Amino acid sequence: MSDVYAEPATAGEPTDPATLARYTTLRLGGPAGRLEIAEDAAQIVRKVQEAEAREQAVLVLAGGSNVVIGDQGFPGAVVLVRSRGFQAVAEEGDTVTVRVEAGEPWDDFVAATVERGWSGLECLSGIPGSAGATPIQNVGAYGQEVAETIVAVEAYDRTERRVARIAAADCGFVYRGSIFKYSDRWVVLSVDFRLTRSPRSGPVRYAELARALGVEVGDRVPLAEARATVRKLRAGKGMVLDAADPDTWSVGSFFTNPVLPGEVFEQVRERAAEVGEPPHWPGADGTVKVSAAWLIDKAGFGKGYAGPEGVAISSKHTLALTNHSGSASTAALVALAREIRDGVQSRFGVTLHPEPVLVNCTI
């Protein structure tokens, strides 16, 4: 990646606490009280413990791709996670378990698994951020999510002051969530993925991806082809970081797709009758997941919709809110998010919820 705001820091990285904007893909965020770099798991734990000993609040920050930091910044200690590397730790039959350090850039890791013929993450190509962030919100795209391949997460337990290996079944994975999200208790140190040795992808589940590949849903394709096609689709939506493209100065999807009880979805359907059928997908226990992008667009907030100070909805994807001017404030971005949330609520009776973690700001 070429974007200095998205690339994890290297040895000798300046730790200027004046602004956290340079460490987030939104290019937003005020100062840190203290800023430190941790280059391996032991350092991550030590930096957190030292901050606690100073009675400072702690913010652990890696790729900065799924966080919105307020203009006042974070008055405590910000620990920049810069651990690197991955290794195969177990093999059984046609599977391999791979342990990746929390600070490893995610797309670099996905590229490496594809190159080695390890299937299971190829449809998650092009997603910015670090490997350690993926279990926190159960990252997913194009029919795959990390909960399907994660075996365990190693994390520092700040409550019990010990390092724990948490089995996937105990991670509380749900749609874009886990026990790690919105919790200060856990600091992710590494993640174990169980992947399949295969030159071909898993079954293609996502209709848009299948069309782009020229195959049927359920077919398998060469890993490299799946990865390249996913990256192309994401780039077309401004979802692959590009220093020259302000549409990518975002956190990706700002709102999650709402999951509604069946009867509530029918009410939404009635309210949407004049503008068409909401794209939707059946869920567990009669629930229905509805396209947030469609709701936003039909509520009057189309691609390129502008807010204050040069913040805007991406011209490529309705779910991405961007710091398009490069000089906006977090307050401006949050104001745009509130306007969109309230507009969708008024039009369809659905409350959208933010996908990124909000630090010292709220909508």
Coil, helix or strand for 34? strand
CB 69 within 8 A of CB 111: no
Residues 6+ apart with CB under 8 A from 119: 113, 195, 196, 197, 198, 199, 200, 201, 202, 223
Sheet holding 288-290, edge to edge: 259-260, 288-290, 280-282
Active site residue 277: no
Question: What is the spatial distance between Cα 186 and Cα 179, in angstroms, rounded to a whole number?
Answer: 8
Coil, helix or strand for 77? strand
Using CA atoms of 248, 252, 254, 259 in order, give the dihedral in degrees to the nearest 10. 150
Catalytic residue among 176, 227, 231, 234: 176
Among candidate residues 259, 266, 257, the one with its CA nearest the CA of residue 318: 257
Active site residue 104: no
Catalytic residue among 101, 104, 122, 355: 355
Residues 6+ apart with CB under 8 A from 113: 98, 119, 120, 121, 122, 193, 195
CA 128 to chain centre: 7
Active site residue 355: yes
Catalytic residue among 253, 314, 341, 347: 253
Distance (Å) of CA 174 to CA 203, 208, 258: 21, 23, 13
Distance (Å) of CA 190 to CA 123, 195, 199: 21, 16, 26
Q: What angle do CA 315, 239, 187 make, to 5 degrees?
A: 135
Residues annotated catalytic, as ranges: 176, 253, 355
